Amino acid sequence: NAGVTQTPKFRILKIGQSMTLQCAQDMNHNYMYWYRQDPGMGLKLIYYSVGAGITDKGEVPNGYNVSRSTTEDFPLRLELAAPSQTSVYFCASSYRGYGYTFGSGTRLNVV
Amino acid sequence: TQLLEQSPQFLSIQEGENLTVYCNSSSVFSSLQWYRQEPGEGPVLLVTVVTGGEVKKLKRLTFQFGDARKDSSLHITAAQPGDTGLYLCARVTGNQFYFGTGTSLTVIP
């Protein structure tokens, strides 16, 4: 049972480039989340989804987009990357608000 | 923004000492979670507290939810180097959960 899998683990982007951070879970969880964590800080919610086809904004959605076409996958898209998006990104899932599980993160550096 | 304040921000103690970290908000929580995060890893859920005044124990860790459900504390007895990490509280509001800024704990052997 893999839990929540995030890819890639590390990435360096140039300013203005785009990329997709992948997140997949195999626990049949309906809720999925994307967070970013800046050095020495807690996690800030970017987007979340309560089921396939349903997404909603969190605290810091600007510069990001998400989609949820299946229960298992919740990719995060960065368009026109900016240095302010340098961070560690975590994906998480839960079943109706229980059993929260986090992935191991994607470290992104925008230069 | 759902503001959660954690204190202290940093804590460095000797192995065997006891410690308490705090999580406070001006708003009432429906429920609150505590996580521990080790370097390079995602947070791992330790406990969820729901009822005002609730106390939960997890081995040497004791979690308390304030009577008014606006605050919570985590007490560690006889800290060990393996307890080193970032301790985060998170309030659950509807379908979202919001994290505090965390307490970075270092236990020195």
Output the pLDDT for position A56.
95
Question: What CATH number should be reported for the domain whose range is B5-108?
Answer: 2.60.40.10
Q: Which A-chain residues 44-63 have CB contacts (< 8 A) with chain B? A: 44-45, 48, 50, 56, 58-59
Q: Which A-chain residues 10-39 have CB contacts (< 8 A) with chain B? A: 31, 33, 35
Q: Write the pLDDT tens digit of every residue in A10-49.
A: 999 999 999 999 999 999 999 999 999 998 778 999 999 9
Q: Residue B2 pLDDT more than 60?
A: no
Interface test with B, best of A21, A25, A43, A56 (most B CBs within 10 A): A43
Question: What CATH number should be reported for the domain whose range is A4-110?
Answer: 2.60.40.10
Average pLDDT over chain A, rounded to an integer: 93
- Tracing tokens 């004791």 back to the chain, one arrives at B62
Q: For residue B101, what are its two tokens?
A: 């800024």
Q: Write the pLDDT tens digit of every residue in B43-78.
A: 999 999 988 999 999 999 999 999 988 899 999 999
* C-alpha triplet B54, B55, B56: angle, nearest 5°: 120
B/e letters for B62-98, b = 16+ CB within 10 Å, e = fewer, are bbbbbeebbbbbbebeebeeebbbbbbbbbbeeebbb
Domain residue ranges of chain A, discontinuous segments joined by +: 4-110
- For A48, the closest of B95, B101, B102 (CB atoms) is B95
Domain residue ranges of chain B, discontinuous segments joined by +: 5-108
